[in-house]
Structure 1
Amino acid sequence: MRYIIIGAGAVGGTVGGRLAQAGREVVLVARGQHLAALAERGLKLRVPEGESTYRLPAVEGPDPLGELRADDVLLLAVKTQDTVAALEAWGEAPVAGGGTAAERLPLVCLQNGVEGQRLALRRFRQVYGVCVWLPSTFVEPGVVSAAGTPLTGILHLGRYPHGADDTARRIAADLAAARFEAPVVPDVARWQYAKLLGNLGNALEAVSGPVDSEQAMALYASVRAEGEAVLDAAGIAYASAQEQKEARADKVTLVPLDGSPRGGGSSWQSLVRGTGTIEADHLNGEIVLLGRLHGTPTPLNELLQRLANRFAREHRPAGSLPIAELLRLAEEAVGAADR
């Protein structure tokens, strides 16, 4: 199989680099300065065992590839807010032997949240979801890093909306050869909703910095409690904290990498890079949506969604809202919801 990594940033670049290292055929899809760097200098992947450069085909869209191959696998690793544009670009790409990518090729969603695969299933017949636990960083154009060892990450994989098949197992085998653990599960959404609860802290970190103080951790606990209440009200199952702990164990330990500070998570990185967008609508916003559908108040997630979007839109520095000010806003939001 040939893997086409649509969105070769932190997660996509790491998966693409590791697959290439394992001898799999990989095409990287990127844009702007990142694409230029990949084409000129290759992909530099910094990992605990050192830095490697992979000279891989790099394209902006499907046209330079001509007809796609029948054994191609599309790995969608763009942020959820960029999903529709990516699906439009790749869905109608012709495949050798007839038909389009949307009709014939598997699409694997390597994304936070749950909305990307819903969007994909509107266009693609074969959609696979992944619960992505992969600490990685976009360092600069052409350079990504992943600090996990002995495994680079854990990627629960399954057919969406449910089930498992031979394609999933073949992809999982390739990922396992590339330093990932990739359990094939029939209920991948259950793992993704559990990860969503953890990702509710992304916006908090993005606007106010690391969630490591007593105040910040208490606020995150309240934000997560809102999320759990909403999922329970909606009847949505999610893996327990104990299940996640047992699945991860000590398989992915983070180590410092020279020249690649870990920084923050995906939302924090979006603000640092000044992309102008952020994924809060599909993380905290998913909880807000479900809360409105099922009559469960979500004032803290609404607040974080709104603040994260404002920070992205106005290009405010990541972590620049003092935690004391955020706590004041949170108290006001909860008070207004109680009235």
Structure 2
Amino acid sequence: MRYVIVGAGAVGGAMGGRLAQGGHEVALVARGAHLDALRTDGLRLVTPQGTERLRIPAYAHHEDLGPLRPDDVLVLAVKSQDTESVLRDWARAAVSGGGTAGESLPVVCAQNGVANEGTALRYFAEVVGMCVWLPATHLQPGTVITHCAPLSGILTLGGFPSAADRYAQRIAVDLKGSTFDAPVVPDVMRWKYGKLLNNLANALEALVGGEGIPNVADVWQTMRAEGVAVLDAAGIAYSTEEERQAVQGGRMGVVPIPDVVRAGGSTWQSLTRGGGVEVDFLNGEISMLGRLHGVPTPANDLVRREVIRLAAEGLPPGSASPDELRSELAKAAR
């Protein structure tokens, strides 16, 4: 199988780089300065084991690849706000031998949030969900950093619906040989909803900066409690933090890398690079479900709005004051 990584940023670049190191054929899809750097100098993959430049073919669009191959696996690693437009485009791509990608190729949603798989089913007949635990950083064109060892990450897979498990099993074998664990489960969306609860903190970290998180622990507790209340009211099952820790164990701890300062999470990185943020599909998912099921979500509503404001104004992470957040939350909760 060839892995076509659509969105070779932090997560996509780390997966593609590790799969290439494991001897698998990979194609990276990127844009702008990052694409230029990949084509000129290759992917610079920085890990606790060292730094390697990987000469992996890089493309801007499926038309650059020519007809896709019947053995291609599309790994969707774009931010959730870009999912639908990217899927619509790639589903129409021709496959060698006849038909289109949407008709015959599997797409793996290697993304945060829980809306991507359902969107993918509108365009692709074969969809695999993936719950991504993979701390990685992409701030410089051509460079991706993974921070954990001995495993780079744990990528829980499952067909969506379960008929696609035949692809999940084959993909899992390749990932397990490329510094990942890749459990295949019958309830991958339960794991993704559990991850969603953790990802609610991404927006808070972007607002106050990583060092400011201890100063807003009360706000974080309120945000997570809202998420739990919403999922319970909606009757949506979610994995627990205890389950995640049991699976992770001591197999993927963050390891200091010389001369590398670990950056913040995905939303922090998006604000740093400039451009869109996926907060609508994380905290906004909780807001939507809260409205549907009559559960107030003032903390997630506020944090979502503030992150969108920072992005619109081009402000860097850490531009919000913890005291101002508390004040605004107190007003919203009245």
1:144 matched to 2:144: yes
Give the drift of 1:211: 6.4
Matches within 5 A, 1:25-174: 25-162=25-162, 165-174=165-174
Match of 1:311 in 2: 310
* Runs of 5+ unmatched residues, structure 2: none
Give the drift of 1:162: 4.2
The question of whether the paired residues in 2 share the 8 Å contact of 1:139 and 1:260 is answered with no
Per-residue CA deviations over 1:293-314 (Å, capped at 9, x if unaligned) read: 1111111111111111111111
Per-residue CA deviations over 1:47-76 (Å, capped at 9, x if unaligned) read: 000001110110011111111100000000
Identity of aligned residues (%): 53
Q: Which amino acid aligns with 2:155?
A: L
Match of 1:209 in 2: 209
Per-residue CA deviations over 1:159-204 (Å, capped at 9, x if unaligned) read: 1144662211110000000000000001000000000000001111
Q: In 2 relative to 1, CA 265–213 (structure 1 residues): closer, same or farther, beyond 3 Å?
A: closer
Match of 2:263 in 1: 263
The question of whether the paired residues in 1 share the 8 Å contact of 2:156 and 2:184 is answered with yes
Match of 2:196 in 1: 196
Structure 2 distance, partners of 1:126, 1:45, is 30
SS in 1 for 2:139: strand
SS in 2 for 1:139: coil
The question of whether the paired residues in 2 share the 8 Å contact of 1:162 and 1:189 is answered with no
Give the drift of 1:23: 0.2
Give the drift of 1:88: 2.3
TM (norm. structure 1) is 0.96
Match of 2:295 in 1: 296
TM (norm. structure 2) is 0.98
Q: In 2 relative to 1, CA 82–90 (structure 1 residues): closer, same or farther, beyond 3 Å?
A: same
Q: Which moved more, 1:20-29 or 1:209-218?
A: 209-218
1:223 matched to 2:232: no
The question of whether the paired residues in 2 share the 8 Å contact of 1:127 and 1:160 is answered with yes
1:286 matched to 2:282: no
SS in 1 for 2:138: strand
SS in 2 for 1:123: coil
Aligned length: 334
SS in 2 for 1:53: strand
Q: In 2 relative to 1, CA 101–259 (structure 1 residues): closer, same or farther, beyond 3 Å?
A: farther
Q: In 2 relative to 1, CA 162–229 (structure 1 residues): closer, same or farther, beyond 3 Å?
A: farther
Per-residue CA deviations over 1:95-129 (Å, capped at 9, x if unaligned) read: 01111000000000000011111211111110111
Kindly report the root-mean-square deviation, in angstroms, between the aligned alpha carbons of the 2 structures: 1.2
Structure 1 distance, partners of 2:92, 2:218, is 47
